[in-house]
């Protein structure tokens, strides 16, 4: 895979111990911890502008657009799996699950493999169905993380079991479902995008080409070197 917003795999040893893979070096770590480390003294004052946050989200959408174009489903899109490079460049990775600091983000449901249920679409949890449209659901949760500076876990007040029950109820109900509250200072049009990604029927969710185009238009004029 070769894309400006996808972490580059440099090599791998899968035939003898120790098994390992080598990725390109990341200067600033994952986006989740990067955001938390750059909150100013007051919770109402942040280091990054709204334009910068949207710039980072737009890059994630671009990387996911590439994965969608080659029919590759990520299955674990979250801020912890996005890496930060100079100039607020963002590249998507997929090794958050092996880092102990994020162990609480993965739930062990009945002996199944640990799953990032707080980021997963309802059909992925209930039916085990994954697609680019379930990735779109996860992208909206990731966007929510970015705009809240990753200060809390999605569904912070819910146990893992309650998250499953809530999503399972939504899968059987015709009621409108809003997964997470609108972040402070988040424009309505951006929150509307999140809600579109959380539509019950995956066919009603936007694809990443549409998501990227929308965010790109909202981010016109932003330059990380001058803003």
Catalytic residue list = 76
User: Which string of DSSP letters, residue by residue, matches 63-121?
Assistant: HHHHHHHTT---S--SGGGEEEEGGGEEEE---GGG-GGGGGGSB--TTSPPB-GGGS-
Q: Residue 76 and residue 154: Cα distance in Å, rounded?
A: 14
Q: What is the CA radius of gyration of the chain?
A: 17
Q: Is the peptide bond before 7 cis (omega within 30 degrees of 0)?
A: no
223 contact partners, CB below 8 Å, separation of at least 6: none
User: Which string of DSSP letters, residue by residue, matches 152-183?
Assistant: S-TTTTS-HHHHHHHHHHHHH--S----SPPP
| 184 backbone dihedrals φ, ψ, rounded to 5° | -60, 135
């Amino acid at each position: 895979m070769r894309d400006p917003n996808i972490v580059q795999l440099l090599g791998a040893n899968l035939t003898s111990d120790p098994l390992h893979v080598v990725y390109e070096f990341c200067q600033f770590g994952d986006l989740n911890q990067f955001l938390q480390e750059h909150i100013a003294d007051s919770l109402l004052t942040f280091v990054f502008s709204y334009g910068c946050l949207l710039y980072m989200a737009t890059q994630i959408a671009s990387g996911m657009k590439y994965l969608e174009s080659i029919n590759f489903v990520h299955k674990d899109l979250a801020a912890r799996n996005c890496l930060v490079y100079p100039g607020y460049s963002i590249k998507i990775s997929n090794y958050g699950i092996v880092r102990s600091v994020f162990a609480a983000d993965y739930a062990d449901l009945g002996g199944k493999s640990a799953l990032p249920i707080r980021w997963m679409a309802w059909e992925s949890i209930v039916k085990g169905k994954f697609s680019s449209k379930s990735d779109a659901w996860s992208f909206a949760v990731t966007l929510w993380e970015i705009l809240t500076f990753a200060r809390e876990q999605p569904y912070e007040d819910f146990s893992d079991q309650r998250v499953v029950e809530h999503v399972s109820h939504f899968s059987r109900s015709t009621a409108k479902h809003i997964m997470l509250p609108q972040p402070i200072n988040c424009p309505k049009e951006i929150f509307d995008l999140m809600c579109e990604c959380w539509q019950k029927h995956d066919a009603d969710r936007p694809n990443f080409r549409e998501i990227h185009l929308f965010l790109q238009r909202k981010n016109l004029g932003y330059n990380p070197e001058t803003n």
